[in-house]
Every structure is written in structure tokens, then in C-alpha cells.
Structure 1
Amino acid sequence: MTDDIELSAEVTLLWGLRETVRRGRRPSLTIADITRAAVEVADAEGLAAVSMSRIAAQLGNSTMALYRYVKSKDELLLLMADAALDDPPDLPDDVDWRTGLTLWVQGALTVLRRHPWAAQIPISAPPMGPNNLWWFDRALRALGGTGLGEEDKVGIVMGLLTFLHGELRLSLDLSAGYTDNPEAFSRQYGAALARVVDARRFPALSRAIASGVFEGEIPYDEETERAFALGLYLDGVAAFIEHRTAGR
């Protein structure tokens, strides 16, 4: 019975089910206050600036006061990761699954780019926070008309989450790299490859180099790269749906 399962400390924290340790005077803070302050600091100064003492100073409280609500920086990061996600897009009921998932990815990337530090927070478990689960629900809903079983839908969305976080991290890093050093994306890259790549050790890469793929400029176009990669993933989903539902 699920009622017999004791909720973890992380779950009770994310869902506001944890009892606050009550010592001394009446508490003047809330979990929401602490999370909001942490997000403000990270937005302004980056994730490295976030610490229990820094957030306490942001709130005008002592560090010990925060520990009445949040036990560690790891718990604070957990709250921040969920808070980084605003409301998911409200997909129309008649939208096809491919358009729905495309809108879902675009919406998630737009939201998370407002808080680029979110890509630096380690992911150690499946989605469990209320905001993360709200997005999870919307993606599952987009697959509602496919005829797939619930297990297959969950598998597709979990794969899409892997794509989303990889795309977010790479797009942020590569965009910053292109801004800082565009020469790294220029024809010098191809020239350097041609100098160091041994055809016997890297035969496939050598053929790509010989074809001239890397001879011109290689501007980083985030939209084009994402559309191509997402299209490949959704093409695979389309083939999977066709295979699973054939003959039904």
C-alpha cells in the first residue's frame, strides 16, 4: 500500500509537508521566502554565490534561522531547481502529439534560460517537485491521443527530459563559448583537425574532414541545432508509436 510508504525528507520539503523546527521566538520566514531569495541571488550573481549565509544576509536573518527550515545547501538547491520552472504551456486539447511536445520543449527552454544556473544543479533523482511534476504531466498529456500505454508514454517523456537538460547545458555553454572565442568555431578548427587527426586511428572522422565539412565557418546557431536534434528524437518517437500501435 502506498499509504504505508514514508515520504523522504526531500519530498516533504518540496511539497511543504515538513514540520518546521520551532525553537525560540515565532518563525518569521517561510520556505517560499528562502527559495525566492536564493533564486534572486543566483539570477544576479550566479550559482556559486549561493550559500546559506549569503541567503540569510539577503533576507536579513541569521544563518541559523535558515536551518530551521532548510537543513543544508543541497536542500536549498533542490528547492531552487523546482522553483526555476514556471507554469508549463497550456497545450490545446486538439494539438497533435508532435506539435505538443515541440511546444513543451520550447517552453521549458525559454523558462530555464531565465535562470541559467539551473543547468548547473546536479540531477540525482526523477522529477518529484510540484513544478517539475506539472511539466511532466503536460508532456504526458501531449501523448494522450497516440494509443500508447502509460509505461511507453513515461519512457518517451523521460527521454525527452534527457534531451532537454542536455540541450540546455550545451546551448548555454556553446553560446557563451562562441561569444568569448568565435575563432574556435572558424575554419581554423577544420585546419587544426586536418593536422592532428590520423586516418588510421580516426577513419570515419578523417572522411568527414576530407569531405570539406569543416573547411568553412561553423557559426553556432542555437535554433537550428535544437530543431535538428529534436526532430531526430521525435522521428524516433513517431516510428516507435507506429510500431507499438500497428494493427490496433
Structure 2
Amino acid sequence: MSDLLWGKPPLPSRGPKPAVTLTGIAEAGIRIADAEGLDAVSMQRIADVLPVTKMALYRYVPGKTELVAVMSDLAMGAPPDRPDLSWREALYTWAIDLYDGFLQHPWLLQSTIGRRLLGPNELTWMERGIAALAGTGLTGGEQLDSILVITSHVRNLGQQSANLPGHSTGLTEDDMQRSLAEILTTRADRFPHLAIAMRTTAGSENQGLEFGLERILDGLELLISGRKVSTSRH
């Protein structure tokens, strides 16, 4: 699988020019996953939308597991280049960019977990996050754990916000907000603290994402500042 992810696809060596490429196959899979969810992706579905038979696809990719790995890395793409930022600004924008990517391709929340081989784009995201913490005084393990905590927060909020293809309650965000407001208005005596909190809530749609991210960064800033003070005393 590593050859597929790192640019050495097993292309046919004889016969006419291939009608498809590994990238084209992965792009077809991405379109299906975006529209219908990851479970809808299969070798047969890909063959239905490309000028190639299902059996011919196996000359490019061994199966769905490998295909999803290539799809995921391609869909993630490389992180946007945002130079000349402080470590905190760099990690904040990195997290928001990652969140936007999950919303654009919600199935990535499913395909990028668990034990699997990592591709160049996903590793570049990790590299960019770690690079933001270079020179802060944090150990390598602390840098990796910091990225893990931030990514977990982004994933959690992404999971709650993403409109997953193939799964719907039939309610829009406005429907949910109106229903909750009605319940808390008519039953405020039962949920008094929640009702007060909801009435005083104001902010952006991503308030939970931004609030949690800022608190994580606050904690890192305290750790980094304390590390620098400790170092200067020795």
C-alpha cells in the first residue's frame, strides 16, 4: 500500500494507453463518498462511473482498503501555507483549516482513524502542526501530544457539525434551535440554568470550536512560558 500512497502505482505495462489513472479512480471515489458517504464506495460503483471494468480496477488498486487510503490522502490535500505566524496563531489557523477540510469531506472523519498507513499529505499536516511548536521548549512527545489534543477537539466538533451523507434526522440546524428554544421557554422551571445559559449565548456558528481551541492554546501557553522560565533559571 505504501507504493500507492507514495507515487508508485502498479500501472499496466503493456497494451493501449490506460483509460484511467490511480488519481482518477480516487477522485471518482471521493465524489461518491462526498455525495453518499464512505459506505457507498465500492469497486463496482467506481467502475460504473469510469470507462473501465471492475476487474480492470484491480490492476491499479488491490481493494477498497487501499482505495480509501489513497482517497483520504488526496482529499486531505496539503495544508495551506501560512508563513510568519507565531506558534499560537499557526496552530489556531492549522486547526481551523483542518476543521474546514473535515466539513468539506465529512467521510474523512471516518477514514482517518485507527491503524493505517499514512500518506504524504496527512504527514505534511502533522509536520506543519509540529513545526509550529518548534523552538517552544516542548519535548518531541509534548509536541505530538499537543497536536493529538487539538486534532481530537477538531474531530469532535467536526463530527457534531458535519452533514454526513447517508445519515439524516430530517431536521435542519434551525429546526433544532427552534425546538430547543421552545422547550426551554415552556419548561424553564425544570431546566433553569440551561435556559439562562441559552438566552445569554451569542457568538459565531463555530463558537464551541473556537472556545475550546483557545482554551487548549491557553494551556499550552502556560506550559511553554513555564518551561522558558525554568530554563532561564538554570
Distance in 1 separating the partners of 2:210 and 2:117: 25
**Aligned partner of 1:83 among 41, 53, 74:** 74
Distance in 2 separating the partners of 1:89 and 1:165: 18
Question: Which residue does 2:111 correspond to in 1?
Answer: 121
**Aligned partner of 1:39 among 30, 34, 44:** 30
Of 52-61 and 42-51, deviating more is 42-51
Contact 1:178 1:185 in 2 (8 A): no
Number of residue equivalences:
225
Contact 2:43 2:57 in 1 (8 A): yes
Distance in 1 separating the partners of 2:198 and 2:182: 5
1:185 and 2:213 aligned: no
TM-score calculated relative to the size of structure 1: 0.75
Contact 2:130 2:143 in 1 (8 A): yes
**Aligned partner of 2:210 among 203, 212, 227:** 227
C-alpha RMSD of the superposition: 3.2
**Aligned partner of 1:16 among 4, 7, 18:** 7
Residue type at the aligned position of 2:158: L
Taking the TM superposition and a 5 Å limit, the aligned residue runs for 1:17-166 are 17=8, 19=10, 25=15, 28=18, 29-93=20-84, 95-121=85-111, 123-125=113-115, 128-166=118-156
Residue type at the aligned position of 1:67: Y
Question: Which residue does 1:171 correspond to in 2?
Answer: 161
Residue type at the aligned position of 1:182: Q
Superposed CA offset, 1:134-154 (max 9, x none)? 111111111123122222212
Contact 1:185 1:217 in 2 (8 A): no
Distance in 1 separating the partners of 2:60 and 2:80: 31
Percent of pairs identical after alignment? 32
- Measured after TM superposition, the shift of residue 71 of structure 1 is 2.2
Q: Which runs of 5+ in 1 are unaligned?
A: 1-8, 196-205
Superposed CA offset, 1:143-168 (max 9, x none)? 12312222221221122221222121
Superposed CA offset, 1:65-90 (max 9, x none)? 11222222222222222122133122
- Measured after TM superposition, the shift of residue 130 of structure 1 is 0.7
Q: Which runs of 5+ in 2 are unaligned?
A: 165-170
